[in-house]
A = this chain, B = another copy of it.
Amino acid sequence: MIGGGRGAFIGGVHRLVAAMDGEAELVAGAFSSDPERSRASGADLGLDPQRVYADFAAMAEAESAAPPDQRLDFVVIVTPNDQHYPAAEVFLKLGFNVVCDKPLCMTLVEARRLQALVKQTKLVFALTHNYTGYPMVKLARDLVRTGHLGNLRKIVVEYPQGWLSTPLERTGQKQAAWRHDPKRSGMAGCLGDVGTHAENLARYITGLHMQELCADLTSFGPGRALDDDANILVRWEQGVKGLLHSSQISAGELNALAIRVYGTKAGLEWHQQRPDQLITKYLDQPTQIWDRGTGYLPPKIAAVCRLPAGHPEGYLEAFANLYREAFRAIRAQVAGKPVPKDTDFPTIADGVAGMAFLTAAVTSGRAGGKWRRVPR
């Protein structure tokens, strides 16, 4: 694991969910850019001090020399955004499969370089857009793909949070601090942090890429260099219209990722804060609420439900579903077999699409809200 030391949030989540199915074990890490903190974090986790490194470069070098039976099957990169590219690059070049937090990297150029590297090395690269791991998101995709909604017309996707309503980054709160530091976070603030999840969710469910967008980005927090609020008009492929908005200054909102998709025959609605239910609405019949874990779900959706209906699943199970699918690919790669075609996890292509979205949105926002094409 690269990053995820003391004081981090998402590192611990990765460790927990990667282990949830008993398929992975943490054995080495460079947990912090501060060697002392890395060491201490490794000790917290009970690792062999020999395999706790001062930085990812040292780790890459040492671990690539490990004997085959001790060789890492994959590395997980959970650093602030600026380290994703260099860490991913070095590990890919040394032949390691990579699981990487989102957004993919700092620029679209970096993204395409990584994509080329993945293609060339034929390694597995998983990007943790974890919200697509929810079973009811997968059901939403299935309903859209099988024509349940008719031809699509409109998407409304949103990700409001309120935790940065105050200038939390000035209090030394670690997660707020790096997210509003352009050097570590990159070109975008809330848009990179949560807006990319919204873009990914919409694309996952509908299969549609954005073609053009027009973004109004604002930094409400005093002195913030990056956006903490983003409102975007979007034109997706196939004439689908709609909007995406994300925010970290929507006071009182927790983690309110939600999506609505409308077609000619029906609409659907999903809320991350009630993840076990998918709502579908019709022109001429009652609204339906589909519950996770029920007997009427299509078999491939039922297969990703861990608990019976009415026994709530949450964030961790969804995240673990992503890992479970990535592991199917990684196991095949490690065994020298072809990666199964039906694995279902976000890949380097999702990372490139996310960076293309971010680039277009930030460019649009900086131009005061001009329409920009989203590169493919």
Complexed CA–CA distance, A247 and B263 (Å):
12
- Chain B residues with Cβ under 8 A from A280's Cβ? 252, 286
Complexed CA–CA distance, A250 and B371 (Å):
24
Known: A233-B369, A371-B369. A316 touches B317 (CB 8 A): yes
Complexed CA–CA distance, A286 and B153 (Å):
24
- Chain B residues with Cβ under 8 A from A265's Cβ? 165, 251
- Chain B residues with Cβ under 8 A from A229's Cβ? 153-154, 241
Known: A162-B283, A286-B288. A249 touches B262 (CB 8 A): yes
Complexed CA–CA distance, A291 and B281 (Å):
11
Q: Which of A235-263 contact B (CB under 8 A)?
A: 235, 241-243, 245, 247, 249-256, 260, 262-263
Q: Which of A153, A265, A286, A296 has the most CB of B within 10 A?
A: A286
Complexed CA–CA distance, A153 and B289 (Å):
24
Is residue A313 contacting chain B, with contact meaning CB distance below 8 A? yes
- A161→B233 contact, CB < 8 A: no
Is residue A16 contacting chain B, with contact meaning CB distance below 8 A? yes
Complexed CA–CA distance, A84 and B260 (Å):
36
- B214→A233 contact, CB < 8 A: yes
Query: Could you say which of B9, B256, B276, B285 contacts A310, with CB atoms under 8 Å apart?
Result: B256
Complexed CA–CA distance, A314 and B150 (Å):
33
- Among listed A32-40, A55-63, A267-275, interface-contacting one: A267-275
Is residue A287 contacting chain B, with contact meaning CB distance below 8 A? yes
Complexed CA–CA distance, A158 and B260 (Å):
13
Is residue A343 contacting chain B, with contact meaning CB distance below 8 A? no
- B252→A282 contact, CB < 8 A: yes
Known: A233-B231, A289-B289, A368-B371. A282 touches B251 (CB 8 A): yes
Query: Could you say which of B150, B220, B272, B369 contacts A214, with CB atoms under 8 Å apart?
Result: B369
Q: How far is the CB of A202 from chain B (nearest CB, A)?
A: 14
Query: Could you say which of B9, B283, B293, B369 contacts A251, with CB atoms under 8 Å apart?
Result: B283
Complexed CA–CA distance, A149 and B242 (Å):
28
- Chain B residues with Cβ under 8 A from A316's Cβ? 306-307, 313-314, 316-317
- B310→A313 contact, CB < 8 A: no
Is residue A156 contacting chain B, with contact meaning CB distance below 8 A? yes
- Chain B residues with Cβ under 8 A from A306's Cβ? 316
Is residue A88 contacting chain B, with contact meaning CB distance below 8 A? no
Give a binary string over A336-351; 1 marks a CB under 8 Å from any B CB, 0 the rest.
Answer: 0000000000000000
Q: Can you pick out 30 interface pairs between chain A and chain B where the beta carbons lie within 8 Å of each other?
A: A19-B19, A20-B20, A153-B249, A156-B160, A165-B264, A165-B283, A166-B283, A214-B216, A216-B233, A216-B235, A231-B242, A243-B243, A243-B245, A249-B262, A251-B282, A253-B281, A256-B310, A274-B312, A280-B286, A286-B288, A286-B289, A286-B291, A286-B296, A287-B288, A287-B290, A288-B288, A307-B314, A313-B314, A313-B315, A314-B317
Beyond the given A252-B267, A312-B313, could you list 13 further A-B residue pairs with CB under 8 A, ordered by the A residue number?
A156-B158, A162-B267, A162-B281, A250-B262, A251-B263, A251-B264, A255-B310, A275-B312, A284-B295, A286-B288, A289-B289, A313-B315, A314-B314
